[in-house]
Structure 1
Amino acid sequence: MQKIEEVIVHPLVLLSVVDHYHRVAKETKKRVVGVLLGETYKGRLDVNNSFAVPFEEDPQDPKVWFLDHNYLETMFGMFKRINAREKIVGWYSSGPGVKVPDIQINESFKKYEANPIFVVIDIQASETLELPAQAYVSKEEVNEEGSIVKNFLHLPTILGCSEPEEVGVEHLLRDVRDVAATSLATETQHKIAALKAMLTRIQTIQEYIDSVLSGGKANHEIFFKLQEAFNHLPDTNSLSQEFAVNQNNTYLALYLASITRSVLSLHSLINNKSKV
């Protein structure tokens, strides 16, 4: 697989994972694991299909786990007959988050893909308003002791769909959407959700900076991204001045319109008096 710059998770994958979880691990503390299928083109990975795989792990000992590779290979053989273009690109977990044995599980998937991706899909309703899917790829790093360790590196993840998928999702949303809500109420809810999401991200940034100030390890790439984001912020001083000028122009137009209307009213009154 070529170097991945962006991972696009399609709606069918999300629906399949939710169905897998509700069939196998609903109302339990277990998580479900499965295989991701997709295609790569110019650094963009489209994850457009998936299937479940029998998986068990010991809650007491994270090093003890079982993944049925025979079932995996049999299922992939059947999927390949339907769509030969879809390849095994990685695997998914219902989380929550990344767990201790995930590096080992990821290594086992290198049997099918040289550099598999790992996608954590949050099947629970979350109030943080984050994306329900987060993609990772394993990367070798040198720790403070000089030994080589493998850690997960986060990849940019978005949700996308083709035209047929968009039509299907629209039909599904009709069943859950509040038909009584007006367009203004819907737009207001979207604005509130966006503001909550932005507040969550700002709090995450604050927590990270506080941890660095407390003696934690600083990541220069993160600070570079933060500085780049701050550079895109508008100049509030000039913005306030432009807003005041625009507001004054609006008030001036309203004032002139009021005067014009008054003059026309007086003119009509004088004409009526002269006719009498």
Structure 2
Amino acid sequence: MALNLVVKVHPVVLFQIVDAYERRNADSHRVIGTLLGTSDKGVVEVTNCFCVPHKEHADQVEAELNYAMDVYELNRRVNASENIVGWWATGNEVTNHSSVIHEYYSRECREPVHLTVDTSLAGARMGLRGYVCVSLGVPRGKQGCMFTPVDVALTCYDPEVVGLQLCAKTVSAGRSRTVQPMRDLAQVAEAAGKLSSLLDQVVQYVEDVVSERAAADKAVGRQLLELINSVPNMAADTFADAFASSVKDSLMVVTLAQLIKTQLQLNEKLTLLTSQ
């Protein structure tokens, strides 16, 4: 078992877990489910999940495993790249029943990951923790297991970033808590404004370090060096010409697309008129 495992969770997984917790039965104190994603070279990326109905008693756990396998097979038809990588549960701790549930998922995948999501919002935060099960015991003796914490990080695709930014705006939207998506150009303008503000902060930080008004951070320096090396080394005039040429090509494609759309609409109307 590799204890240097890293678990990366996508935002949609957290939304699905919270939604399942809000829709739970009145007598259910905890909700569990299956984690789907990929595992490669010590990195487990969780991209999807679903809830598994279950009941916990004092001495046993009842879970609808047939339902879980049916949902997994249906999901495989839609996205064959997503495999079972572990399971999740609401709460901020590992219970006595967790080892029983983990044993089942150990038969479904190799080295399953266990995620706990604290939906009680203790400390005004939704705690997210990850565990793997490590075998304990003496050779040829009684064997046991221990849940050991692993690093958990949030990651997201570019479209998910846009959705998260839109969700964040609902916090300051008043009582309605509704925000309309912006047009593409408006999103580009907003992103450009944020990028310009961040660049101003970086420039100010560099000036403060050079003038010895602020202490230098080696980690920040290495990241800035990596950022500078990733930018093509070209003159400002050359970059402006390349950018203008790219914009012209994009506008030409948009114009041609609009002309084709208009032509198709005219052909459709002419076809209807001639058929009448």
User: Shorter-chain-normalised TM-score: which range?
Assistant: 0.5 to 0.7
Equivalent-residue separation in structure 1 for 2:91 and 2:213 (angstroms): 51
Residue equivalent to 1:141: 136
Residue equivalent to 2:36: 37
Unaligned runs of 5+ in 2: 175-211, 215-276
Equivalent-residue separation in structure 2 for 1:147 and 1:33 (angstroms): 29
> What secondary structure is seen at the aligned counterpart in 2 of 1:171?
helix
Equivalent-residue separation in structure 2 for 1:170 and 1:126 (angstroms): 24
Alignment of structure 1 residues 145-224 onto 2, 5 Å: 147-177=142-172
1:141–1:167 CA distance, 2 compared to 1 (3 A): same
Residue equivalent to 1:23: 23
Alpha-carbon offset, residue 29 of structure 1: 6.0
Equivalent-residue separation in structure 1 for 2:131 and 2:109 (angstroms): 14
Alpha-carbon offset, residue 13 of structure 1: 0.6
Residue equivalent to 2:106: 110
> What secondary structure is seen at the aligned counterpart in 2 of 1:24?
coil
8 A Cα contact 1:9 1:133, kept in partner: no
1:3–1:42 CA distance, 2 compared to 1 (3 A): farther
8 A Cα contact 1:25 1:31, kept in partner: no
> What secondary structure is seen at the aligned counterpart in 1 of 2:123?
coil
Q: Which of 45, 68, 71 lines up with 2:67 in the alignment? A: 71
Q: Which of 91, 116, 121 lines up with 1:95 in the alignment? A: 91
TM-score normalised by length of structure 1: 0.58
Unaligned runs of 5+ in 1: 180-244, 248-276
Letter of the 2:30 partner, please give it.
Answer: R
Residue equivalent to 2:13: 13
Q: Which of 98, 104, 121 lines up with 1:125 in the alignment? A: 121
Question: Alignment RMSD, CA only?
Answer: 2.6
Alpha-carbon offset, residue 41 of structure 1: 2.5
Alpha-carbon offset, residue 109 of structure 1: 1.1
1:70–1:137 CA distance, 2 compared to 1 (3 A): same
Equivalent-residue separation in structure 1 for 2:155 and 2:213 (angstroms): 39
Q: Deviations over 1:9-59 (max 9, x none)?
A: 110010000000000156x6610000000112221111010001111101x
Equivalent-residue separation in structure 2 for 1:246 and 1:161 (angstroms): 36
Equivalent-residue separation in structure 2 for 1:113 and 1:42 (angstroms): 15
8 A Cα contact 1:10 1:161, kept in partner: yes
8 A Cα contact 2:91 2:116, kept in partner: yes
8 A Cα contact 1:4 1:44, kept in partner: no
**Which has the larger Rg?**
1
1:2–1:75 CA distance, 2 compared to 1 (3 A): farther
Q: Deviations over 1:120-177 (max 9, x none)?
A: 0112222175x6211101111238xx74320101110111111111111111111124
Equivalent-residue separation in structure 2 for 1:70 and 1:86 (angstroms): 19
8 A Cα contact 1:8 1:47, kept in partner: yes
